[in-house]
Amino acid sequence: QSVLTQPPSVSAAPGQKVTISCSGSSSNIGNNYVSWYQHLPGTAPKLLIYDNNKRPSGIPDRFSGSKSGTSATLGITGLQTGDEADYYCGTWDSRLTAVVFGGGTKLTVL
Amino acid sequence: QVQLQESGPGLVKPAETLSLTCTVSGGSISSSYWYWIRQPPGKGLEWIGYIYFRGGTDYNPSLKSRLTISLDTSKSQFSLRLSSVTAADTAVYYCGRGDYDRVDTWGQGNLVTVSS
């Protein structure tokens, strides 16, 4: 059971928009920054979003992040087949004194 | 651009110690946080722990009693030792670089299977 809760799967058509939620508590999301990662099987995970809504260099602005209270959301617009991957949220948990991840969400681009 | 590469055995016997090394190239190891993260088959990411560039460490509380992460700046390497392994420790092990709450650069991963 992950500390952060994500939906197991989401799907949308190419060109459409999708959002992935990440729910936590005051000891993690509520008082710390959230990051998002993209993981294609067999490859290294990639940092998409950090500090709730910042994109590292090279990440297209189709990817966005937001946070409200104890929940965070990853948005992806203009979906492409290459976006099919597992997406994870992560943050620091002040009570556990640990980095924690969500269970991951599998994105299918239909 | 910093690159990371894990190395170590792919098979470890139960009750023995799992040892992995991550070699850092293209940048200095004398800054940042240096991570170990794993992904068991069919499951999500699990933070193992990290070592700061000054040598301090933070470990996953569930692994702390079996875990040691160390840093060798002279070789631009950091290492993981996990003792008394069981089948539950079978996973792809990733090393990474980042800040205290995120990983911005990841290695390719090293599958470690615990089996006799």
Kindly give, in sequence order, each residue whose CB lies less than 8 Å from that of residue B113, ignoring residues fewer than 6 positions away.
B10, B11, B12, B90
CA dist., res. B33 & res. B52, Å (int): 5
Task: Note the pLDDT tens digit of each residue in A6-35.
Answer: 999 999 999 999 999 999 999 999 999 999
pLDDT greater than 90 at residue B35? yes
From B106's Cα to the closest Cα of chain A, the distance in A is 6
From B35's Cα to the closest Cα of chain A, the distance in A is 10
pLDDT at A1: 80
Task: Note the pLDDT tens digit of each residue in A32-77.
Answer: 999 999 999 889 999 999 999 999 999 999 999 999 999 999 999 9
CA dist., res. A99 & res. B55, Å (int): 18
CA dist., res. B79 & res. B31, Å (int): 16
pLDDT at B54: 80
Closest CA relative to residue B72, chosen from B4, B21, B2: B21
Contacts of A43 in chain B (CB under 8 A): 108
Angle made by CA atoms B92, B98, B104, in degrees to the nearest 5: 70
Contacts of B104 in chain A (CB under 8 A): 47, 50, 56
pLDDT at B29: 87
Task: Note the pLDDT tens digit of each residue in B66-104.
Answer: 999 999 989 999 999 999 999 999 999 999 999 999 999
Mean pLDDT of B11-17: 97
Extract the tokens encoding B77: 């390497």
Chain A segment 19-58 residues within 8 A of B by beta carbon are: 32-33, 35, 37, 39, 43-47, 50, 56
Extract the tokens encoding B99: 């800040």
Kindly give, in sequence order, each residue whose CB lies less than 8 Å from that of residue A105, ignoring residues fewer than 6 positions away.
A6, A7, A8, A9, A10, A20, A86, A87, A88
Mean pLDDT of B14-18: 97
CA dist., res. B101 & res. B48, Å (int): 13
Kindly give, in sequence order, each residue whose CB lies less than 8 Å from that of residue B90, ignoring residues fewer than 6 positions away.
B40, B41, B112, B113, B114, B115
